[in-house]
Structures are given as C-alpha cells and as structure tokens.
Chain A
C-alpha cells in the first residue's frame, strides 16, 4: 500500500513559468515531509522540507505547501529553469518510526525554453 503518492508521473513547463508538483499521503501520523531532486545517473539530493507544525516553507525559488486536512503537499518552483528538469520525489516520516523515510513514486519535470 503506497502511503505517499505522486499521481502525476510527468510534468512539462515552459521556462519562467511556475512548476507545481503534488504529493498526497494517507498516513495522518506523518509529521515531517521532504522533497528530493534526482538527475539521471545521480543520487537524489535534498531540496526542501517542512514540519507538520507549518503550512509553508520557502527557500529561494522553491516553496513547499502543506495542507494537513487534505493530506496533501505541493512544491512550487518559480520561475522554472531548464536546470530544474529532473525527477522529484516527496518523502515523509512519522514520529513513531523516525528511522524511516517513505518515498513517493516521483514526478519527472521537464522545463523547456
């Protein structure tokens, strides 16, 4: 059973526009969420995170929004750049199981000129 879901396997956005990547989760005990970016032939790299006590966290062009009632988080990239083209994974952890991160299936973002 997939506890963290990324229902859009791919997304294509024009350079300069906003990219919105979505993630849904089923476990209401999750209290920490992260986004990772992965380029081909490389390992995932940490991008941004958010604790469940917040509903927004911003870092430069990247903003993560958390809607706990909807069990939904989203990553906004503004403005999108060609270098943002990668696979994005969301991940979550729960306080009773802090040793483990549960990852979504990923969304491939392509930013075209």
Chain B
C-alpha cells in the first residue's frame, strides 16, 4: 500500500470554525490532491499540488485553501466551515500527474459540520 496518512480520520466541527485536514505521504511523489466524495457527485477535485509551494484549484475550490511547504505534507483548510462542507475528504498522490499514471488514495477523513 502507498504510504499515505490522513489526519484526523473523523472530525465534527461547528459552523464558522476553521478546520485543517492533513495529508502525509512517504512515497516522495510530486503530485498531491484533495478530493471530496458526496452522494450523487462521485469524487470531485478541490485543490492539487504539483510541487512544494505549487498549488492549483480544482473544480470545487471555493471555501478551501491549501498549503504545501514540504514534499510529504499537503494541508487542506476550511477557513470558515459550512454545513455544505460536510463530506468525506480523500487525499491522493501520484508520481507524474494525470496521464498514464494512477493516483493512490488515503483512507479518507469524514468531516461533519454542525
């Protein structure tokens, strides 16, 4: 299994509070991604990183920010959590990006915003 650790695995937070999810990898892969999974929507890309300090937006980036100060860590921050951000969040890594390569996923973080 690819060395990807997400923390925390479960979190309940109140509306309006900031939340940070962490993804840690031991594979030294260049690309890291944050997805959210919701019923009827599948997996949707929030943000991704193609190197240290190099990040870009995905299709559902509003309300989220990311940071990558080290190759192994990719942080996802909800600046002010809303109920619509209740979801399961997955981190993924890949060696060379989308084409001709697969992404490896972490086990997910279940976030509930009350």
Contact = CB atoms under 8 A, between A and B. Distances in A.
B7 to A, nearest CB: 14
Most buried by B among A36, A44, A45, A93: A44
Q: Does more than half of chain A's interface fall in helix, strand or loop, or is it mixed? A: strand
Contacts of B40: 105
B78 interface: no
Interface residues of A, number: 28
A105 B40 CA distance: 6
Given A95-B99, A99-B48, A43 B108 contact: yes
B99 A98 contact: yes
Interface string B30-62: 010101000011111100101000001010000
B80 to A, nearest CB: 26
B102 A100 contact: no
Contacts of B48: 99-100
29 contacts: A6-B42, A31-B99, A32-B98, A32-B99, A34-B102, A36-B105, A41-B108, A42-B108, A43-B90, A43-B92, A43-B105, A44-B43, A49-B102, A89-B42, A91-B43, A93-B99, A94-B98, A94-B99, A95-B99, A97-B98, A98-B98, A99-B50, A100-B98, A101-B33, A101-B98, A103-B43, A104-B42, A105-B41, A105-B42
Interface of A: 6, 31-32, 34, 36, 41-46, 49, 51, 89, 91, 93-95, 97-106
